Amino acid sequence: MPNQATVRSREPDVVGRLAKFFPQATPVRIPIKLSRSKHSENGDSAVTSQANDHHSDDNDANDSIFFQNTVIEFGTPREVLFTVDRPLEFADRVLVESADGSLHAEASVVAVQYHPERTAVAARFLKNVPNWIVKS
């Protein structure tokens, strides 16, 4: 059990090292579902062309593939920072969805830091996402 707690406590540290490159980064803990565009390497493809249409589940399913569940550890008004246990690369497109549905946005990977068993990722929203993160 101590090893499991140690691994979990390191997650913010791994992402925290990447967050130093984003001066506006604020610590948050938002569980998300991360999906990857089928056409991630093709800059012309959009994952969520109808993201605001709640009836577009079929379209979203056709345009993206579930990648993994993770947690946003840090955020800025334009970026989300999290870890993944599978490879993501610069310019990959992902769909970020919170469990409560308050966040549903496409983002592009702008930074990665590789660590044993985990990769810290920063992804920038492709469109403005107003008030997704509120600073007090």
Residue 50 has pLDDT above 50, yes or no: no
Buried (b) or exposed (e) across 61-83, using 16+ Cβ within 10 A?
Answer: eebbeebeebebbbbbebbbbbb
Is 85 within a domain? yes
pLDDT interval class at 101 (50, 70, 90): confident
Is 130 within a domain? no
Counting the structural domains of the chain, the total is: 1
pLDDT interval class at 39 (50, 70, 90): low
Residue 37 has pLDDT above 80, yes or no: no
Is 31 within a domain? yes
pLDDT at residue 1 in the model: 41
The mean pLDDT value for 112-124 works out to 93
**Residue 8, domain extent:** 2-125
Is 135 within a domain? no
Residue 86 has pLDDT above 50, yes or no: yes
User: For a pLDDT cut of 70, what percent of the chain falls above it?
Assistant: 70
Residue 105, number of CB atoms within 10 A of its CB: 20
pTM score above 0.95: no
Residue 38 has pLDDT above 70, yes or no: no
CATH, residue 51: 2.40.10
Query: Between 112 and 58, where is the model more confident?
Result: 112
User: Which of 29, 27, 5 minimizes the C-alpha distance to 18?
Assistant: 27
